Each structure stands twice: as structure tokens, then as C-alpha cells.
Amino acid sequence: MLSSPENSIAAALPSASPHHAGIAGRDTIPVTLLTGFLGSGKTTLLNRMLADGRMKGAAVVINEFGSVAVDHDLVHKGSERYVVTTTGCLCCTATSDVRTSLFELQEMARRGDAPPFDRVIVETTGLADPAPIVNSLIPGGAPATGFRDHAVARRFRLSNVVATFDAEAGEAALDGHIEAWKQIAFADDVVITKGDLAPESSMIAHGRISGLNPFARLHDRHRAGFDPLALVGSGSYSPTGRLEDVAGWLVMETMGAHEAHEHDPDRHGDVRALQLRADDPLDPKAVETFLTILTGQQQAGLLRLKGLLALGDDPARPMVVHAVQHRLYPSLRLDCWPDSDTTSRLVLIGTDLPVEPIRKLFETLARRKRSWWGGKGKR
């Protein structure tokens, strides 16, 4: 939250008076909502979009599930880019966090603490219900409760919703998680990912998505000619003309139908996030064994694994690791750490995770050091 005086903010706003939260004017900045279930390739798609020179003026808001942020370190940044990160249970904090983040962006640019921007991309956590976010940014949605909300309504508009869909794991996500279904239902565009790994599943996905949302435009990220910039909207999002369920979900949100629960930033229903950290570089071979064990237990309930790890053979170049369910994807080494934090951090998201055994296994890994890079622990 920012503490700037309201009169200084008002001076930076357009002269037209707001009629309702979400009313879009000619000078409003378009916001693209990028959603999709855990591990479906949102960050990869976002990086491809940001790598295009035409996106130089884009700012990014990233929401991550859990109290430790990892995804923001994997997003393309530069002197022209401003990235805001929020963590926690988005279903509870969506309206607050999205409006607060957009307000912060506006204020940073106004003060000259961040470069000007001409559009915003909001990347949600894979467990996000899009309804409260959409409600916070469209006319007639969540009511404006303060000056900040009115300021955001006058300056920003939701232009479109983009959802990613994993050709390999998407079917299971749809069958097991209502959030995955709603992400597809709200989308203007659905991008099928990992079709190169499962061509037959990609064809099945086209049919399933068309059945869930016949109004969405379908894209294959691996098909020749795919242009990620075609996903960047310039109009205004409207819930009309979509499945009746979409309008119903939005109404339920405005009526406060969200089920009350404790706001644990590491838990969402029966899904929880487990955070693991290590201060010292890790043994590469032990890391390989640890990741193989985690992803080899299909009954363990793992949905997503992601992290940045410092390895003893070259701790200045962190290794990016990620897995979706039991599939461990090839790791890669970054040229340098994204910021001054050089600790290894790993986030596991799943249902019924064996938390203590995983934690103890990681602690054993963290204690293991190879003598050839200066460690004195056991081989």
C-alpha cells in the first residue's frame, strides 16, 4: 500500500469523473489477464510475449501461490520493465491485490520511479479463479470502496482474458479442479501448450476446449506462424455473449458467495504449497536424485514443482527446475541470479503432500557437500 496524499493522486488522473468502478474511457490502459492451470506454460508464454520489441511499454503483475515467490525471477525484465509480485490465496485477495498493484504501477510511473507503460499483463497463479479478478476490472463488477478503486477504474480497463492449456495434463486438471474449467470458460483466447510432446493429446484438447468454450479462439503455441502478440487485447472485455455460467459466477462473486476460510498464504482448499530453502550451494548429483524421487511418486499428489537452485559446480549460475505432476522437464542454467538473493528456493504445490518426509529429504540434500567444490560433508 502506498501512502501518497490523495490530492497528489487526483492531479494525475484524467479530468473525466468516474461513474462506476470499471468504466473505461478513451485514455484507459488495457489490461490482459493471463491465466491457466498449474504448469500449463503461462510464464513461458509471457516471456515470449515480452521478448517482442513491440511489448517494450508493458508492465507486469504476477500473482504466485504460496508465501515464497519464484515465478517473478523467471520473467524477462529490463530497464523498461516494471514487475509487481503478489503472493497468497488469490481467490481471497484478487480484488484487493489487482487494484492495489495497478494503483502502485500508476503511482510509480507518475513519480518517475518506474518507466511509463502503455499496457499491463496480469499473470495469475495456476489455482486462480478468474471471476473475482474480472469483477474487479469490469463495469458493474466489484464495487469501488475507496479512492484507490476509483483511481484504478478511471485509468485501466480489462481488455481480454487469455488461458493456457496443457495438452498433456490439461484433461486431468479439468476433471479434478473447477478453477481449470473456469479459466477456460472466461477466456477470449486459449493457447494449447506442450502439443509438441503429445500431438494426439493436442487434437483431443482442441475438441474438449471447444466444447467448454465455443466462443474462444484456439491457438497452438508450437504451430508455425503462432504470434503471441495476437493475444494482446485492445478492446474491452465483456461477459455477455459467453456461457451462462460465466455471468452466474460473476454475480455470485459480487454477492459475496465465496466460501469463508482462513487466509493461509500457503493453502487453497485441499491444495497447499511447500516452501524449501537452502543457504549453501547444493550437490548436483544429490539434487538430481531428490527431484527424481519427488516426481517418481505419482500417488504423492504433486501438481507443480518449480525453483531456482544454486549448485556447487557453478553457484553463480542458478539452475531452473520445474515439473508438472510426475513429469520432470529438462533443467536449464541461467547466466546469473535475477537479483541479490542467491539462496536456493523450491516450491512444491500439491494435494496430500507427504510434507515432513519431503522436508527431511531436502534437509539431507542441503547437508550433503562434495569435497571438490569446497564442502566437507559426506559424499
Per-residue pLDDT of the chain (379 residues; tens, 9 = 90+): 333 333 332 333 333 333 333 334 457 999 999 999 988 999 889 988 988 888 888 888 887 654 444 444 444 444 344 565 554 444 444 444 788 888 888 888 888 888 889 999 999 888 888 888 888 888 877 777 788 888 998 999 999 999 999 998 888 889 888 889 899 999 999 999 988 877 777 888 888 898 889 889 999 998 888 999 999 988 899 887 776 677 666 766 655 544 544 555 455 567 788 889 999 999 999 999 999 988 887 666 888 888 889 999 999 999 988 888 888 888 889 898 888 889 999 988 888 888 898 999 999 988 876 544 454 444 4
- pLDDT of the residue at 262: 52
What is the per-residue burial (b if ≥16 Cβ within 10 Å, else e) of 220-239?
Answer: bbeeeeeebeebbbeebbeb
- pLDDT of the residue at 141: 76
DSSP state of 298: G
Give the separation between CA 95 and CA 102, rounded to whole angstroms.
Answer: 11
Contact yes or no for 72/100 (Cβ under 8 A): no
What is the per-residue burial (b if ≥16 Cβ within 10 Å, else e) of 330-352?
Answer: ebeeeeebeeeeeebbbbbbbee
Contact yes or no for 83/59 (Cβ under 8 A): yes
- pLDDT of the residue at 128: 83
- pLDDT of the residue at 268: 57
Residues 6+ away with beta carbon under 8 Å from 352: 270, 300, 301
- pLDDT of the residue at 317: 93
Nearest Cα neighbor of 177 from 169, 187, 168, 186 is 169
- Parallel/antiparallel/unpaired status of strands 344-351 and 271-278: antiparallel
Give the separation between CA 86 and CA 375, rounded to whole angstroms.
Answer: 36
User: pTM (2 decimals)?
Assistant: 0.74
Q: Residue 288 CB: number of other CB atoms within 10 A?
A: 14
- C-alpha distances (whole Å) from 57 to each of 81, 140, 227, 232 are 7, 29, 18, 13
- C-alpha distances (whole Å) from 72 to each of 82, 102, 189, 291, 339 are 11, 16, 23, 22, 11
Give the separation between CA 303 and CA 164, rounded to whole angstroms.
Answer: 16
Residue corresponding to grid cell 513491440 = 54
Nearest Cα neighbor of 91 from 59, 52, 125 is 125
DSSP state of 287: H
